[in-house]
Amino acid sequence: MKAILILILAAFIITEPVIIPSAIQVKPKEFNSITKDTVTQVTWRAFDVSRDTTQGCNTYVQLFDKTAKQVWATNIPIPAPIVRQWVNDTIIDNYILSQLNLKKK
C-alpha cells in the first residue's frame, strides 16, 4: 500500500508544471510531432530597437514545455508598423503568438 502511495505522489511531483517568471502562458500545443514536444510557455527579448520608426526590430523567442525545458528558439522580426504601436508588451506578445500560431491561456 505504501509503495502505491509513493508512486502516485512521485507521479504528481514529476508532472507538476514549472512556471518561468514573466513567460507568456499559452494553451498546450504539440510543436514537434517527432519528439512530441508540447509548448506551454513563451519568452522573448527584443533587440535592434531604435527611435527610427521606419525600421522594425528583431526578437529572440524561446519556447518551453511544462517542465521549463526549452524545446525551440528562433528569431522573429517585428515589422515597423507593429513597433510603432508598441506602447505595452501585449502588442508584441500577440504578434509573436500569431506568428507561432499559439493562443494565450
Q: Locate the domains of the chain by residue range.
A: 18-100
Q: What is the pLDDT of residues 2-50, one digit of tens each?
A: 666 565 555 555 567 899 999 999 999 998 888 888 999 999 999 988 8
- Report pTM: 0.81
Reading the block at residue 100, the C-alpha cell is: 507561432
- The DSSP H or E segment spanning 13 is helix 2-15
Q: What is the pLDDT of residues 62-73, one digit of tens each?
A: 999 999 999 999
Q: What is the pLDDT of residue 80?
A: 93
- Separation CA 9–CA 32 (nearest Å): 29
Give the CA distances from residue 36 to residues 28, 30, 47, 66, 95, in Å, rounded to whole numbers and listed in that order.
12, 6, 31, 13, 25
Average pLDDT over residues 94-103: 96
Q: What is the pLDDT of residues 42-56, one digit of tens each?
A: 999 999 888 877 889
Identity of residue 7: L
Q: Left, alpha or beta for 10 (phi > 0: left; psi -120 to 50: alpha)?
A: alpha
Closest CA to 70 of 57, 58, 60, 56: 60
